[in-house]
Amino acid sequence: MPVEIQTYPDEPSSVQTVTLGGTQYRLTLTWRERTQSWYMDLHTVDDVAIALGRRLSPGLTVLYALQPAAWDGGDILPFGPDPYVQSDLGGALRLWFYTAAELAAITTPAASGLRVTL
């Protein structure tokens, strides 16, 4: 079952320790006025960078196209409107963590007996 990540939209920048897939990480969320967007940095608690400056873009996973060595798998998915405003974080714009197994279940089509011919 995916886990929602707690967020603090009233703070233009916040740092918190989160447990994702049984491992603790340091998550930083920063609002950037110039782009009118939230950005995320993710580090291990030992300060090993996993993802830096990743824009929260609904419909795209945060760790898209990255294969960080210090990451146990899974991804963070923002859901909500795009464009969004700062105050949407935690309301209309929410962050969910999915394990690698949960992502595989979502992206693996179930056998339905449907045959597609191109």
Instruction: Give the mean pLDDT of 51-63.
Output: 94
100 and 71 in contact (C-beta within 8 Å)? no
- Is 91 inside any structural domain? yes
**pTM (2 d.p.):** 0.85
- Domain encompassing residue 65: 3-107
pLDDT at 57 over 90: yes
- Is 113 inside any structural domain? no
Give 56's contacts (C-beta < 8 A, 6+ positions apart): 29, 37, 38, 39, 40, 62, 78, 89, 93, 95
- Is 115 inside any structural domain? no
DSSP letter (8 states) at residue 50: E
- Is 116 inside any structural domain? no
Dist CA 92 CA 87 (whole Å): 9
- pLDDT for 71-102, tens place per residue? 878 999 999 999 999 999 999 999 999 998 88
Domain count, the chain: 1
- Is 99 inside any structural domain? yes
